[in-house]
A and B are shown apart, each in its own frame.
Chain A
């Protein structure tokens, strides 16, 4: 898993891990505020990065041993080597049952990208409206808080009635799932911006646009990035669920087919692809974080 190497190595100097994992929707404002971490030097951080690799490797090794020795049957838990050859076969051959793995991946990625783009941008716009005035808060926040408590996947039947069984209900589900954590964190981030800086903006005569662009959004950025990561996690989760209903392409479809044809190894391969894609998007957000929050590293460098 070369992906996790990069992920852990990049952790140094990035905001705290979101409190809620990919699967659970965060509660308003509960997410830990990112903190600069002085006192952790570069060598120590790199060392730590390698240490973090040990436990995943142990898990994978145990998996392989349990499967190969037959403690758990290959039918229930295919060995990693079997999964590898399955993956190679799915990539190199086009089967009528599964299509190709990379084709499915592209379709899934596209769904997440479109859904996330719609949901994410709506979330930020709504959070700015709610964050900047009492009126906006009263108008937007109750609805968003109510939406937060809705069971996302309970909406699937409703979406099917409204939007049919094509792409629309899937995209809507992903957009809604992604919007909520991003909204909550952005809103909390804007409200958490130092009031003294807002006052400064007033003294300097900043226009409303400048206030949002130069003070509010950058001030909220650490929280926005935490929200972004949670949001992407939910988006992937929503994708899996959405794709297992009425899909005829994509990773979820492959899982469904694997289930139908009792091919456990195909299901595991698809799950691994989800995992890798999830880690990859997370890694990209961390890279953005490192670039966008350079100003905070100033403390660490001196």
Chain B
């Protein structure tokens, strides 16, 4: 099992159950799945799922827990080799996990430049840390960072690799509400500057509404609903369109919405 290199363009993974040769992705598409399925011990988590991620787009995926959001993300990240169906990823991928996953015995700067193939990894790491407002902590040990700082370092580590596809696996769920709001602003500004395609997995409908161009609802291993949001950012969460969409999404998720508005 070869280690996957993020610089490895057009990394193409085809599960054991794949029948047809994978189609060549259309231009502008950084990742695509066709009939993607995954089950754990007979329990189907992803069921014949089709998904297309276009370059530069910010997708948010919501769903109840256990609906396979993280499974899909892990498949796209190349961390799950047991999926079946077609999966094509044609851009370098970076991942930010739910927990920062900083390597505790490497200083923050070294964490950002870990495995980086660049002529000046330290300098690149510095400027990435600068972008997330952590330049001053480059020489700190990860265990001394606050939760928000650690997650910002993880973001810097993901961005420094110039990903065409940035996968965010509930990266803000462990942060307090205030930190989460400033992280939303940070992610948006980084996205606007670097323009990777983003797939944000979250269980927070408001987070999805605040950030994404398109919100996908995952249910029963399939994309059950998809909604585009064209409002400019930063968005007013009380905008009538968002209020309506929030109710719609919560209904899709099977949550009672009587008291939402």
Contacts and interface: CB of A to CB of B under 8 A. Distances in A.
A206 to B, nearest CB: 4
Nearest to B116: A204
Contacts of B140: 298
A218 B106 CA distance: 9
A207 B106 contact: no
B191 interface: no
Interface in A187-206: 196-197, 199-206
B237 interface: no
Contact of B79 (A203, A221, A299): A203
A299 B114 contact: no
B77 A203 contact: yes
A208 interface: yes
Given A202-B3, A202-B4, A215-B103, A210 B144 contact: no
Contact of B3 (A205, A298, A301): A205
Interface stretch (B5-13, B63-71, B198-206, B210-218): B5-13
Interface residues of B, number: 28
Contact of B101 (A197, A219, A302): A197
Contact of B141 (A196, A204, A207, A294): A294
Interface in A209-255: 210-211, 214-215, 218-219, 221
A296 interface: yes
A218 B143 contact: no
B104 A203 contact: no
A192 to B, nearest CB: 14
Nearest to B92: A205
A205 B143 contact: no
Nearest to B140: A298
Nearest to A219: B105
A295 B105 contact: yes
Contacts of B142: 295, 298
A123 B155 CA distance: 38
Given A299-B143, A302-B144, A199 B4 contact: no
B115 A206 contact: yes
B103 A202 contact: no
B96 to A, nearest CB: 10
Given A204-B114, A205-B5, A294-B141, A214 B101 contact: no
Interface in B102-133: 103-106, 114-115
A221 B94 CA distance: 28
A302 B5 CA distance: 36
| Best-buried of A202, A203, A207, A210 by chain B (most CB within 10 Å) | A203
B76 to A, nearest CB: 11
B141 A205 contact: no
Interface string B1-30: 001111110000000000000000000000
B114 A211 contact: no
Nearest to A294: B141
Given A218-B105, A219-B105, A206 B114 contact: yes
Given A214-B114, A295-B141, A296-B143, A196 B3 contact: no
Given A299-B143, A302-B144, A205 B103 contact: no
Contact of B8 (A205, A221, A298, A302): A205
Interface string A139-152: 00000000000000
A298 B94 contact: no
A298 B141 contact: yes
Nearest to B103: A197
A202 B99 CA distance: 16
B50 to A, nearest CB: 24
B148 interface: no
Contacts of A294: 141
Contact of A295 (B78, B101, B104, B115): B104
Contacts of B143: 295-296, 298-299
Contacts of B93: 203
A224 B92 CA distance: 36
Contacts of A302: 144
B95 interface: yes
Chain A to chain B: the 9 pairs with minimum beta-carbon distance, closest first: A298-B141, A204-B115, A205-B5, A298-B143, A298-B144, A218-B105, A206-B115, A295-B105, A205-B6
Interface of A: 196-197, 199-208, 210-211, 214-215, 218-219, 221, 294-296, 298-299, 301-302
Given A201-B3, A211-B3, 8 more contacts: A196-B99, A203-B79, A204-B6, A204-B114, A206-B3, A207-B115, A218-B106, A301-B144
